[in-house]
Amino acid sequence: MDSPVIAYRQRFLELALHCQALRFGEFHLKSGRTSPYFFNAGQFNTGGALAGLAECYADAMEAAGLGFDMLFGPAYKGIPLATALGVALAKRGRDVPIAFNRKEAKTHGEGGSLIGAPLAGRVLIVDDVITAGTAVRESVDIIRGAGGQPCGVIIAIDRQERGAEGQRSAAEEASAALAMPVVAVATLDDLLGFVADRPELALHRERLLAYRAQYGSTGV
């Protein structure tokens, strides 16, 4: 039986579906797998959509009890996500510093590869997904190199698929390798619960279950 979906996770999936950030069909992934669904955070492309998404991130952070002093958004998708999340937190009464990086260092003006507040204290990385964990490791190196302490990662969705190294998911692998929590707003398990409650999406459930059976992580 599918577990009930927590309220903020349900809001996130409803928003993702409305914005077409979440789509169902047949999608060929970079991994070579053919997935029955696809998630693209770039589709949260209006102020209202980003505001709604940021509230879901903020709820997920509070539910996980993440302790942090500032936010870091890796280029490129992490930049608007961290910025929107910072605004959402300010509306809740917590004003935190925000920083992000450039893909290529700037050689004129202020120069360098970092923009925003100085990286210091406990730095929470804000991104959309973890695929191979490479981007997270790069962010960790940037933060440590600047004198900050990476303390965790928050992402939109955890596909809960086996990663490249074994039976754990890419998010679980990154969490273990970097010794810090990786929190997702929603997971594949949440998506299964979400479609189970909607007759118009029910036809996708069997394909999602088959995909999880074939590629799902064991969490060990």
Task: Convert the pLDDT of each residue in 78-132 to its tens digit.
Answer: 999 999 999 999 999 999 999 999 877 655 445 478 999 999 999 999 999 997 7
Q: What is the pLDDT of residue 197?
A: 87
CA angle 139, 85, 53 (to 5 degrees): 110
**Looking at this protein, which amino acid is placed at residue 62?**
E
Q: Confidence class of residue 194 from pLDDT cuts 50, 70 and 90?
A: very high
Distance, CA of 23 to CA of 40 (rounded, Å): 9
Task: Convert the pLDDT of each residue in 144-191 to its tens digit.
Answer: 999 999 999 999 999 998 876 678 888 999 999 999 999 999 999 999
Tell me the whole-structure pTM to 2 decimals.
0.92
Domains and CATH numbers, the chain: 7-215 (3.40.50.2020)
118: left (phi over 0), alpha (psi -120 to 50) or beta: beta
Q: What is the pLDDT of residue 104?
A: 72
Task: Convert the pLDDT of each residue in 51-84 to its tens digit.
Answer: 999 999 999 999 999 999 999 999 999 999 999 9
Catalytic residue positions, numbered:
106, 108
